[in-house]
Amino acid sequence: MNMRYPHKTYILDDGNRPELAKASVKWGCEYIARCERSNAKAGNLNHALQLTQGEFIAIFDADFVPQSDFLEKTLGYFGDQKVAFIQTPHNYYNVDSFQFRIKKEKEKSWNEQDIFYRLMMPCRDYWNSTFFAGTAAVFWKKALDDIGGFATGTITEDLHTTMLLYKRGWKGIYHNEILSNGLAAKDLKNYHIQKLRWAEGNISLLFNNNPLFTRGLSFSQRICFFAIIFGWLIGFPKLIYFITPPIMILTGSYPIAPFDISFIWRYVMFLAVIIFGFKFACRGYGRVRYDECYNMMNFFILIKAAFRNLFRLKSSFVVTKKGLHEAIGMYDIIPQALLCLICFAGVAWGGFKLSYGISADFLGIGTAIFWSIINGFLALFVMESVTRPHYKRKDFRFIGGFPVQYSIRIDPEFATSAVTGKVVIRRDSGGEWFGSVIGLGVGKDINEHGISLITFTPLPFDKKVSLSLYLDQKVLQCKATILYMQHSNTLHGKMFVYGAKFEGLSEHDIDLINMYCFNTILPRFRYQFSKKPSLFLTMSSKFWKRVQFRRDIRKKITLPLIINATGYSPLTVVTNDISIAGLSFISYFLLESGVILDMEVFTPFGTLNAKGIVKHVREIMTGHSYFVQVKFIQAPECSEDILSNITGKKLKQNHIQRETDAKV
């Protein structure tokens, strides 16, 4: 509904739920239901095609949220009359899912599907072989009418529909920019349901519509689509790789003879080429260790999908649940548990044979023990990661810093013990004295239900706190109840992290929070945690461009920051990092390089007042978010002490020009 380009929004409800029909009227969108549920998702889409008149159709699964500029950035491709659809990358915002690996300190993230959507799909686009991925895509209705609508009789209607379009001479485009965000499966059970459906549907093309032999595809399209199918058969070779080392030890049989040093050094060279070749080809999106863990997690499901196709077992479309995390039992990890048992049994038996002289083949058994340990720990890691209680909240909180002003009524005795913040003592209508602590803190994460609040002042539990959330240009006034506190060792333990639950938010307030989360926090998070060049490439580039190396290491810390500059509106933001020489932050409007800023940084040690000059500005989102780097040019002596406490470094003499008397 919030996409800017003129459009109509339809909810296609296979469940035919009256409450959803009523809600759609309130939201201002259309509602289409059907009585029967034949052909699952494809049937639902085809039914809606008959009842709508739009020239172009954008499709989103119910858990996907498009950005406001989605249509503006995709519809232009249809200037080519042969383009049938535009596909955009899938991106998942619940980064607490086990499909993600997040390193907050290094601002690095890894997602299982990054290689596919950010690297492989653009490559397929070069050969006109990109395909519809089920959601986050736009179709020309004329092209769908040409093939009779979305493909039915299959559980992967997306790939089958793409092949039908290509065979009729249509083109597909891949726009390699994240323009929407969805929910990843939260537990192994639903993740495997999704994986099994994809694998079964893709492998079924070998028997129903084999791209190598079907008519109408180009040679490059045949190769690309066959590669898609072939990739889902990786479960068989992975099982062989996982189980061969312990079998070698337990049986004494070697698949290669002679298994000597001549073979070993060739094998080591081959392995090195494979690993470094993978690192080079994946352009920073792949991680060998993580990818192998997911091969360990999925090999049995992929083998199951292949056998279901081989024996022609009937498949059904099962919707992937994206709700609360479901508990995982031993039944769900039986293949990994058995493999782990076999691997460590092989390690024990191999060690026994070498220790007691049963075998003198130190080279062969030692190599097999090494790989058995690697595979065994891979299986252990998978079992631990999927059974760990990851998900404590039903709804994911978006990670990102923003300023929050808070005010809470407390006892006068407690108020006098506050570390920082403005303390006000008042008398109520009954004549009793009470205290109020007013301060500026940081929102660590947020969703429509609650917030993690960082303060420099201890606050009491089970108290209502008045909050002012600085959501870029808008300020949301609301109330919340403090439920718990997390201990923080940041800045000598002088920062307090509180969990608060919102109270009495209106629908307008909820919409404002959600819009801020998806349109501001999420793109900024992707920018900060996006793929970064290696240290070697960064240093080489700076040396080649004669860029001056930064002498002062900036500390990653989020602190409230108020900025005033001549010709600009006051700006309330948070720092991204800070050093003795400068700081950086993200602004919601453009600041020109060379602008002088008056800055107030609120810290546990007091307020740091300083002047700075804007040295560098980088656009994150067009007309919306800008990464700004500032160099300190003037600060009073007391502020230098505060800066030293934050960074942990002493300032050199005249490192920042100090404010002096009237001579200055």
Q: Could you tell me the domains of the chain?
A: 39-184 (3.90.550.10), 242-387 (no CATH), 398-527 (2.40.10.220), 536-647 (2.40.10.220)
Q: How far apart are CA 152 and CA 161, in angstroms?
A: 9
State the Cα–Cα distance between residues 659 and 633, nearest whole angstrom. Answer: 10
How confident is the model at residue 325, as a pLDDT?
57
Q: Given a cut of 80, is residue 626 above it in pLDDT?
A: yes
The reported pLDDT for the residue numbered 630 is 93
What average pLDDT score do residues 116-122 get? 92
* Burial class (CB within 10 angstroms; exposed 0-12, middle 13-18, buried 19+) of 489: exposed
Q: How far is CA 103 from CA 55, 157, 181, in A?
A: 44, 36, 20
Residue 337, token pair as written in the block: 């548990």
Q: What would the mean pLDDT of 561-567 be, rounded to a whole number?
A: 92
Closest Cα to residue 395, out of 192, 186, 100, 191? 186
Confidence of residue 501 (pLDDT cuts 50, 70, 90): very high
Rounded Cα gap, residues 87 and 121, in angstroms: 9
Classify the C-alpha dihedral 635-640-643-647 as positive or negative.
positive
Residue type, 426: R
Compute the average pLDDT of residues 103-125.
86
Whether 275 contacts 269, CB under 8 Å = no
Cβ atoms 435, 412 nearer than 8 A: yes
CA pair distance 197, 588, nearest whole angstrom: 42
- CA angle 157/162/166 to nearest 5° reads 150
How far apart, in whole angstroms, are the C-alpha atoms of residue 246 and residue 144?
Answer: 53
b or e along 31-44 (b: 16 or more beta carbons within 10 Å of the residue's beta carbon)? bbbbeeeebbbbbb
pLDDT > 90 fraction of the chain, expressed in percent and rounded: 51
Mode of pairing for the β-strands spanning 171-174 and 83-87: parallel
Minimal CA–CA distance to 515: which of 417, 47, 507?
A: 507
Largest CA distance in the chain: 95
560 pLDDT more than 70: yes
Q: pLDDT grade, residue 420 (50/70/90)?
A: very low
Sign of CA dihedral 262, 267, 269, 270: positive
Of the ranges 101-105, 434-438, 554-558, which one carries the lowest mean pLDDT score? 434-438
Separation CA 302–CA 203 (nearest Å): 10
Q: Is 61 a catalytic residue?
A: no
**Looking at 332-341, 410-419, 450-459, which range is the least confident one?**
410-419
Q: Would you state the pLDDT for residue 654?
A: 46
Orientation of helix 288-310 relative to helix 235-251, angle to 10°: 100
Question: Would you say residue 18 has pLDDT above 70?
Answer: yes
Quote the CA–CA distance of 130 and 142 in Å, as a whole number: 19
| Sheet of 171-174, strand order | 56-59, 137-140, 83-87, 171-174
Q: How many residues does the chain have?
A: 664
Could you say which of 14, 361, 509, 641 is catalytic? 14
pLDDT for position 244: 94
Q: Is 648 left (phi over 0), alpha (psi -120 to 50) or beta?
A: left
460/241: higher pLDDT: 241
Q: Which residue has the higher pLDDT, 374 or 644?
A: 374
pLDDT of 526 reads 87
Determine the average pLDDT of the residues in 281-289: 84
Over residues 343-353, mean pLDDT? 94
| pTM score, whole prediction | 0.85
CA 634, CA 612: separation in Å to the nearest integer? 7
Question: In the predicted model, what is the mean pLDDT of residues 312-326?
Answer: 64
Q: How would residue 648 be classed by pLDDT, with cut points 50, 70 and 90?
A: confident
The catalytic residue among 69, 114, 125, 158 is: 158
Cα distances from 250 to residues 210, 343, 353, 363, 369, in angstroms, run 41, 10, 10, 15, 11
Question: Which phi and psi (to 5°) does residue 484 adopt?
Answer: -160, 170
Residue carrying structure tokens 């920042």: 656
pLDDT above 70 covers a percentage of the chain that reads 86
The reply to whether 114 belongs to the active site is no
- 171-185, 273-287, 307-321, 405-419, range with the lowest pLDDT: 405-419
570 preceded by a cis bond (ω within 30 of 0):
no
Confidence of residue 433 (pLDDT cuts 50, 70, 90): very low
Query: Beta-carbon neighbour count of residue 618 at 10 Å?
Result: 12
Q: For 172-224, write each residue's pLDDT tens digit.
A: 999 999 999 999 888 888 889 889 989 998 998 888 889 999 899 999 999 99
Q: What are 475's strand-pairing partners?
A: 470
DSSP string computed for 463-508: -EEEEEEEETTEEEEEEEEEEEEE---TTTTT-EEEEEEEES--HH
Q: How confident is the model at residue 317 (pLDDT cuts 50, 70, 90)?
A: low
Which segment of 210-219, 321-330, 492-501, 541-550 scores lowest on mean pLDDT? Answer: 541-550
Mean pLDDT for all residues in the chain: 85
Q: Is the pLDDT of residue 351 over 90?
A: yes
Q: φ and ψ at 322, to 5 degrees?
A: -120, 20
Neighbours of 183 (CB within 10 A): 19
